[in-house]
Amino acid sequence: MKRRNRWNPVIILCLTVICFFVVKNIRTVSKITFDCIYFTFVKTLFPYENVFVVEKEKIVIKEPEKKEKEETIVDAAAKIIDRKNLLNYDYVIKNFYVVQGSTSLSKDRLNLEKISNIDLTIEKNANVPQILIFHAHGQEWFADTKENGKTIVDVGEHLAEILRKQYGFNVLHITESYDLVDGVFDRAKAYDYANERLDEILKENPGIKVVIDLHRDGIDENRHLVTEINGKPTANVMLFNGISYSNEEGEQKEFANPYLEENLAMTYKMFLLGKIYYPEFFRCIYISDYRFCLYHVPRSMLIEAGAQTNTYEEVYNAMEPLAHLINIELTCK
């Protein structure tokens, strides 16, 4: 057994004070000598930093500094939306989400308390690719594609460049086509081809933490998804989740998504950041029954930037606020 320390803290403090005044009144002892004796004595008895300080030749017990709690994304959003609403399933489903008719997003799946506390931050490392951007539907075009030849792949390169140059991420942008293979256009098989290729890419680049499948949406020809951000015409963006659940068949175990909670956290927090910085930017979070390419890594997102009725410029401009929000989400809790 260890011997118990018989020094009573009160006795130690009294002895310290006595020694202080005794030494202080010895005129032959210089101030330097006094300081050496004082700090040696006190630090020996109290081997903790910042317990005592000397203020105007008095011993003062210093209160330990309290560390401020780091503000989370939900904390920041609570300044503009009541926190109770942010964690209220009914409110969030009504105001943030659009759920496809073939599926449903229950309270158990959308556990707001849980997903709001998932840490999605990463430590930047410029030496290895950490963010992967690809396009399952690389042939997606815009209203003026016939004039300029630009597609969603060109938009993806712009997003990658902003993340690299402005925010310091190492980004791998895959420009391969998965919906046009050997001259055959097939959107249905695109995800099969893309998932096979993703397995290879992620094996070759184990440092990748974030996977973004960037699309543009297909909507009614009479609609135009545009807002204004920083004085520029900017396409609206929709966030997307595939939850591997259909109302008819239930859980799609053969096509399960082991990272569903993290996927939901990514879109939920991203949507909140949009509300904070660019209130009119995001359309909604769309919920589908299929898993798409969202099951390879925890931080996976499918993003629909604009639609076929947008110009290339409008979708191009949307990458600046999108990159800004991605950077915040990956660096703040």
296: domain CATH number?
3.40.630.40
How many independent structural domains does the chain possess? 2
The structure tokens 């004595």 sit at: 41
In this structure, the answer to whether residues 24 and 161 fall within a common structural domain is no
* Between 60 and 273, residue with greater pLDDT: 273
Residues 6+ apart with CB under 8 A from 298: 120, 259, 262, 263
pLDDT at 73 over 50: yes
134 CB contacts (<8 Å, ≥6 apart)? 156, 173, 174, 176, 194, 197, 198, 211, 212, 213, 214, 293
| pLDDT greater than 50 at residue 27 | no
Q: Are residues 159 and 51 in the same domain?
A: no
**Nearby residues of 243 by Cβ (< 8 Å), 6 or more positions away:** 103, 105, 109, 257, 260, 264, 287, 288, 289, 291
Would the pLDDT of 222 be above 50?
Answer: yes
pLDDT for 14: 58
Give kind and range of the element (H or E) at residue 173: strand 171-173
pLDDT band at 70 (very low <50, low <70, confident <90, very high): confident
The percent helix, strand, coil of the chain (3-state, each to 5) is: 40, 20, 40
Burial grade of 156 (CB within 10 A; 0-12, 13-18, 19 or more): buried
Q: Are 225 and 310 in contact (CB under 8 A)?
A: yes
Is residue 26's pLDDT more than 60?
A: no
Share of the chain above pLDDT 70, in %: 80
Q: Are residues 139 and 185 in the same domain?
A: yes
Lowest mean pLDDT among 48-52, 240-244, 268-272, 273-277: 48-52
Confidence grade of residue 188 (pLDDT, cut at 50, 70, 90):
confident
In 3D space, the residue among 47, 19, 51 whose CA is nearest the CA of residue 35 turns out to be 19
Residue 234 falls within a domain, yes or no? yes
* Residue at which a domain ends, from 18, 41, 61: 61
pLDDT of 174 over the 50 cut: yes
Residue 1, in any domain of the structure:
no
What mean pLDDT is predicted for residues 309-330? 99
What is the arithmetic mean of pLDDT over 104-124? 97
What pLDDT band is residue 8 in, cutting at 50, 70 and 90? low
CA distance 21 to 27: 12
Do the domain assignments include residue 93?
Answer: yes
215 contacts 294 by C-beta, under 8 angstroms:
no
pLDDT confidence band for 2 (50 / 70 / 90) = very low
Q: Are 124 and 130 in contact (CB under 8 A)?
A: yes
Q: What is the largest CA-CA distance in the chain?
A: 98
Residue type for position 284: C
Is the same domain home to 282 and 221? Answer: yes
- Checking if the pLDDT of 200 tops 90, the result is yes
Q: Mean pLDDT across the chain, nearest whole number?
A: 88
Q: Is residue 186 a part of any domain in this protein?
A: yes
User: Which DSSP helix (H) or strand (E) runs through 286?
Assistant: strand 282-288
Question: What pLDDT is stored for residue 69 in this prediction?
Answer: 72
Residue 4 lies in a domain: no
Residue 160 domain flag: yes
pLDDT at 68 > cutoff 70:
no
Distance CA 302, CA 137 (A): 11
Q: Do 19 and 53 fall within a single domain?
A: yes
Domain carrying residue 29: 9-61
Torsion, Cα of 34, 38, 41, 43 (10° steps): -140
**Shared domain check, 294 and 202:** yes
Same domain (yes/no): 15, 118: no
pLDDT (average), residues 95-100: 98
What's the confidence (pLDDT) of residue 32? 46
CA 286 – CA 267 distance, rounded (Å): 10
Query: What is the per-residue pLDDT for 67?
Result: 56
Q: What is the mean pLDDT of residues 26-46?
A: 49
State the pTM of this model.
0.80
Shared-domain flag, residues 55 and 80: no
What is d(CA 278, CA 20) in angstroms, rounded to the nearest whole number? 61
Domain identity same for 151 and 263: yes
